[in-house]
Amino acid sequence: MNRPYHAAPLSRRTILKAAAAAGVAQFAAPFVITARAADTVKVGMIDPFTGVYAAVAQNELIGVKFAAEQVNAQGGVLGRQIELLVEDSANDVGTGVEKARKLIERDGIQFLIGDVNSAIALAIAQVSNEKKVLHIVSGGHTDGITGKDCHWNVYRVCNTTKMEANSVAELLFNKYGKKWHFITPDYAFGHTLQEAAVADLKKFGGTMTGNELTPLGTSDFSAYLIKARAANPDVLLVLPQGSDMVNCLKQIAQFGIEKQIHVAGLQQELESLEAMPPEARVGIWMFEWYWKQPGVEGVDKFVADIRKRSGGKVPTARTWFGYTSLMSFALVANREKTLDGVKLAKALGDFELPADVKLQPNKCYYRKGDHQLMTSSFVGQALKEGKSDPEDLFQVDSIVAGDKTSPPESETGCTLQWPA
């Protein structure tokens, strides 16, 4: 076939449109895992399996799948097997909402898990609330989910940003100093996390030298780091997560900033530490769950079981979030002998996790007033190299119970409106 070389001239407008489309490119591409059977209990899960949070979302899925396998082996929920329907939110609010509607309206799920992204978690909670489906937010941290935007049908497993800040702030202040500088991701999660830390800092009598708001997906942090070092703080708190955190700490190490200023932060994850070179693994942080807890019942077995299912990788906090979300539903449904959303939501208030699910030394329970799980913070230091295991990259110094880090129910701003 003979085609002219320049059949249609490429206009500037086409290039501009193309550039605009590039932004949209990041919000697409769904995939579906379904295994349909007749008489099953359908559980829906929505998480960002593509995009920047794909690694943590995949670990949550490993935990959910393991819980489903365990529950099914022990007779299922009310004698019926759990059928898992997994959807990709692609890290996009609109897609997440669309998937939530699909799962609830078309597939008829009885229980919903998700999302890692706080904004999506808030949005799909509105859908699950409207449809009266019990919903556990596995990994979205922003305070509102169990605060001012709480719903009667929505529970949360991971910490609030307030809990995260409260667990480490005092230690940072006493150990590293009173002048703090922040690098904060510029969206809901970052804002609430930074505000919580500043509130603690002021309470102790410290000062903030500055707060660099960085767009989500920032790859080069050098300009912010130049500013932060010029402000000469005692502590530089790195709040971005995922690949942003990796990029930021990697550049901090290359600039040698950690040799002059204490570098630390609040939330840290194994997924991030593993993605960094050793020299970037510095500072005091909190983990939401850690796989090495000598002497704590059930942890070693859980680690061994997950390793068999993840190609040898240890469970992370995310794996535990996923596992705990589904186990909470199965346990409470079997105890109450019902799948009714309202009855189950009522029963989960004050529900305490048994030892083989909580996998931590402290008492671990859902709070009646705001539906937040009172789960521990694992406070400690990042390690350059694993001592006994290459994945042992965090040294836990203290495990603080959830009801010590969380503000009282009366201060969360949550008022639950139960259906009539």
Partner 1 sequence: MRDRMIQLLLFNVTNGLIIGAFYVLMAIGLSLILNLSNVINFAHGGFLVIGGYIAYTLEPYLGFWGALVASPFLTAIIGLAVERLLISRVYGRDPLYGLLLTFGLAFVFEDGTRIIWGAQGKPFTIPAFLSQPLSNQFFFITGYRVFMVAMVTVMIALLFLLLRFTRAGIRIRAGTLDLETVAVLGVNARALRSLNFAVGIFLAGLSGVLAGGQLGLEPTMGAGLLMPSFIAIIVGGVGSLVGTLVGGLLIGVASGVTAVILPPASEAIMYVLMAVVLLVRPRGLFGEEGMLT
Size of the site for partner 1 (CB under 8 A): 65
- Cβ-based nearer residue to partner 1, 160 or 218: 218
The secondary structure of 244-260, three-state, reads: HHHHHHHHHHHHCHHHC
The DSSP bridge partners found for residue 46 are 87
Q: By CB under 8 A, is residue 219 in contact with partner 1? A: yes
- Cβ-based nearer residue to partner 1, 97 or 255: 255
Contact with partner 1 (CB under 8 A): which of 110, 218, 328, 377?
A: 218
Q: By CB under 8 A, is residue 138 in contact with partner 1? A: no
- Minimum distance between the CB of residue 262 and partner 1, rounded to whole angstroms? 16
Q: By CB under 8 A, is residue 304 in contact with partner 1? A: no
d(CA 106, CA 27) in angstroms, rounded, equals 23
Nearby residues of 102 by Cβ (< 8 Å), 6 or more positions away:
87
Q: ∠ CA(132), CA(133), CA(138), 5° rounding?
A: 135
In the shown chain, the binding pattern of residues 336 to 375 toward partner 1, with x for contact by CB under 8 A and - for none, equals ----------------------------------------
Nearby residues of 401 by Cβ (< 8 Å), 6 or more positions away:
362, 363, 374, 376
* Residue closest to 287 by CA, chosen among 176, 405, 202: 405
Residue 207 sits at φ, ψ, to 5 deg, of -130, 155
Q: Which helix (H) or strand (E) holds 84?
A: strand 81-88
Contact with partner 1 (CB under 8 A): which of 234, 274, 297, 340?
A: 274
- Minimum distance between the CB of residue 186 and partner 1, rounded to whole angstroms? 6
- Minimum distance between the CB of residue 99 and partner 1, rounded to whole angstroms? 18
Q: By CB under 8 A, is residue 5 in contact with partner 1? A: yes
Q: By CB under 8 A, is residue 213 in contact with partner 1? A: yes
Which 8-47 positions form the footprint of partner 1 (CB under 8 A)?
Answer: 8-12, 14-16, 18-19, 21-23, 25-26, 28-29
For CA atoms 7, 12, 17, 22, the dihedral sign is positive
Token pair listed for 146: 């169990």
Q: By CB under 8 A, is residue 334 in contact with partner 1? A: no
Q: By CB under 8 A, is residue 223 in contact with partner 1? A: yes
Q: How many CB atoms lie within 10 A of CB 75?
A: 11
Residue 46 sits at φ, ψ, to 5 deg, of -125, 125
The DSSP bridge partners found for residue 396 are 380
In the shown chain, the binding pattern of residues 244 to 263 toward partner 1, with x for contact by CB under 8 A and - for none, equals --xx--xx-xxxxx------
Which stretches of the chain bind partner 1, using CB under 8 A? Answer: 3-12, 14-16, 18-19, 21-23, 25-26, 28-29, 49-52, 54-55, 57-58, 186, 212-215, 217-220, 222-227, 229-230, 243, 246-247, 250-251, 253-257, 271-272, 274-279
